Amino acid sequence: MELGLREAKKQETRQLISDHATRLFLEQGFEETTIAQVAAAARVAKKTVTNYFARKEDLVLDHQDEFVATLADAVSSRQPGESALAALRRTFEAAVAAKDPVAGFAGQEFSRMIAESPTLSARLRVLHEQRERALADALADAVGSSRSDIIVRTAAGLLGAVHHILFQRIEELTLAGRPVDEVAETVAAEAAQAFDLLEPSLGNYAVA
């Protein structure tokens, strides 16, 4: 019980810091806001902030582990008879229907903050690269091949690129001020076209 309370308190503190940081970043801009200001707003020591968030950008991209794992998890949990492409397509469609922030539905203010910050934009590119590498690992396991296999790496590159493009498309429409329902409807239709392009080459690849 004591451990559970301690963990709950830690999670509460982490969320408090994250909430205050997001508010300040949206008000002042990411680059202009300091860790000291975040600590003061959350009424904690500066060291407490850095204990919970190793990098300043982690305060914004606090779902990055989940983001990096999304494509690999979709492949690893594909259904019997389902290809990697079909599993990724199905899970992306579900994310769009749910308007999942991890898929890019973060709102106009948040998306603008990311786009206007060189630090956050660079970090997001790294996360897309890490997500593709994690996908390659999952595909290698799925087909019983080496991580260095050119087919595995090519498949991961193609599948990762489609998801990266669709993520950018969601951001683009969001920044243009389109209503979220319209963004979801537009991206769902465009995603169908994008995934269709890969069907001839990857439709039967890594079938469970």
- Residue 2's pLDDT band, with cuts at 50, 70 and 90, is low
Tokens of 9: 């308190």
Please report which residue ranges of 46-149 form alpha helices under DSSP H.
Answer: 46-52, 64-76, 84-98, 108-116, 118-143
Predicted local confidence at residue 139, as pLDDT:
97
Residue 38 and residue 17: Cα distance in Å, rounded? 7
Backbone phi, psi, residue 165, to 5°: -60, -45
Model pTM?
A: 0.89
Tell me: pLDDT of 25 over 70.
yes
Fold of the 64-202 domain: Tetracycline Repressor; domain 2 (1.10.357)
Q: Where are the domains of the chain?
A: 2-59, 64-202
Q: Higher-confidence residue: 4 or 92?
A: 92
The pLDDT tens digits for 146-160 are 989 999 999 999 999
The pLDDT tens digits for 88-122 are 999 999 999 999 999 999 999 999 999 999 999 99
CATH no., domain 2-59 = 1.10.10.60
Residue 92 and residue 170: Cα distance in Å, rounded? 12
Predicted local confidence at residue 158, as pLDDT:
97
The pLDDT tens digits for 166-201 are 999 999 999 999 999 999 999 999 999 999 999 999
Backbone phi, psi, residue 144, to 5°: 65, 40
Longest dimension (CA), the chain: 56
Tell me: pLDDT of 12 over 70.
yes
Tell me: pLDDT of 1 over 70.
no
